[in-house]
Amino acid sequence: MTHALLTKLGLDNHPRVITDVRGDETPEKDNVILSMNPATGKPIAGVTLDSKEDYERITAQAAEAFKEFRKIPAPKRGELVRRIGNAYRDVLEELGSLETLEMGKIKAEGIGEVQETIDIADFAVGQSRQLWGKTMPSERPEHAMKEQWLPLGPVGIITAFNFPNAVWGWNAMLAAVCGDTCVWKPSLMAPLTCIATNEIAQRVASEMGYENIFQYVIGTDDIVGESMINDKRYPLISATGSCRMGRHVGATVAKRLGKCLLELGGNNAVIITEDANLDLALKSTVFGSVGTAGQRCTTSRRLIIHESIADDFCDKLVKAYETVKIGDPLEDGVLMGPLINEQSVQAYEHAVKSAKEQGATVLTGGERITDMPGELAGGHFVKPTIIRVPSSNELPIAMEETFAPILYVFTFKTLEEAIDMQNSVDQGLSSAIFTGASNSAQRFLDPSGAGSDCGLAYVNLGTSGAEIGGAFGGEKDTGGGRESGSDAWKAYMRRQTCTIGFGDTLALAQGIKFE
């Protein structure tokens, strides 16, 4: 299966990929990283790392390519992106399966992620004919004013392991129609997905005569990451990862007066009122909390439910959790795969232990799985977990984001109390309410800002599963960035105000006379 997949995607004889690896030992080269299968704990392939010299060469190529690519009319750049989207359609299942193999999300989610990149490519094609500015009246006679949006430059794209294809797609497809070149630094836990994804995009670009538009640099944070965020040749750094990482990236880029697009952590809550459709809420909560083994930034981590229905709902939730099939994520019918590595399992165990010490009760789960069959015995599997918070609603560990399938259950009396609880964490990415009352829904979406303080707010939907038509991102420690739909393209361009005089006399603004 693995060899056939690598062959289909052109990785079996790729100069950067070493397929002859065994055990968990890095090949006899200092510049090789192993891509590990989290479902088995065994290596898939080795990938050679880039050096500082490689980084300099690739960055110089991106900067040089930008000078010509920006001159290509935007609709023509849109045609490039359209063809890239079609190329991904040709390998949709294979590329999605590679994601599953490399980071452990179930196959349906892996394919769905690649579909998301295809969708954003379609969206970007339309945007390529709508990169418009405004015209405005001038206070001076015989003058005209307008604003226009211009290509920004090479964009550095730093992605995390959990969405190794789509997050790059959100950035790269829009950046390309805006006239920017892209250099991608992927997570070292998902280098194969990066290589396969980028090679397809650049192959299409090369066929159209555009070289070095899409490039990648696979390297360590100290050699590649620090170089990129300190490099003035990148006017924009788009970084996805932890809040800790984002603070460092944001501060470093700000020192050189560059721009940042940050998509960081989330500690997302689902509010369920007593008049909600509980069947719908149950299904959405299970998917939101268990999907991708809790390794989404939009994972449902806190359930805030009205006290009158909490006991009965928790009983149903426990039964639903215990039916979740855990196993090989490439296998049909499996609903949850492994965590990415042993460190993630340990973080999961630490969170569960801390919750118990802080007075919470584990309703189901709370343990790593040690009896997986066959090769899966070496995988990083845990049980999806529900933890009931004490009636005081005080649980410090729940204020932290643990990238694992742990759901903390809180109770509330009034909707105002529930919204305050939801907004009490440092992050502000995704939020949801299930209610049958229009007043409750509107209070949650209060246009004064007194409702949800998150960048994403859903009514009768879970916290996961954003569509590409709306800009994706969050507030507070989530970073404030916006990617994907809406007017997110503006992040990849610079605005210029243009004033044109077409008379023969000097006219100054604010009525100033200079004779």
Q: What tokens were used for 216?
A: 């990648």
Q: What residues contact 275, with CB distance under 8 A and at least 6 apart?
A: 435, 436, 437, 440
User: What span, in angstroms and rounded, lies between the C-alpha atoms of 448 and 445?
Assistant: 9
Q: Cα-atom radius of gyration of the chain, to the nearest Å?
A: 25
Is 123 within 8 Å of 166 (Cβ atoms)? no
Among 178, 194, 297, 314, the active-site one is: 297
Per-residue tokens: 380: 């990083």
Q: Which two tokens stand for residue 230?
A: 């300190």
297 is catalytic: yes
b vs e for 139-149, b when ≥16 Cβ sit within 10 Å of the residue's Cβ?
ebeeeeeeeeb
- Quick check: 481 and 262 in contact, CB under 8 A? yes
Structural tokens at position 28 = 């006899």
Active site residue 243: no
Q: State the Cα–Cα distance between residues 480 and 454, nearest whole angstrom.
A: 10
Indicate the SS3 state at residue 137: coil
Q: Are 122 and 89 in contact (CB under 8 A)?
A: no
Spatial distance between the Cα atoms of 394 and 210, rounded to a whole number of angstroms? 57
Neighbours of 338 (CB within 10 A): 29
User: Is 211 within 8 Å of 65 (Cβ atoms)?
Assistant: yes
Length of the chain: 515
Q: Which of 99, 109, 116, 263 is catalytic?
A: 263
Neighbour tally for 509: CB within 10 Å: 10
What is the rounded CA–CA span in Å between residue 492 and residue 154?
A: 9
> What are the contacts of 386-389 at 24+ separation with CB within 8 A?
386/314, 386/317, 386/318, 386/321, 386/362, 387/352, 387/355, 387/360, 387/361, 387/362, 387/363, 388/314, 388/360, 388/361, 388/362, 388/363, 389/360
Q: What is d(CA 401, CA 456) in angstroms, rounded to the nearest whole number?
A: 17
Mind telling me the catalytic residues? 263, 297
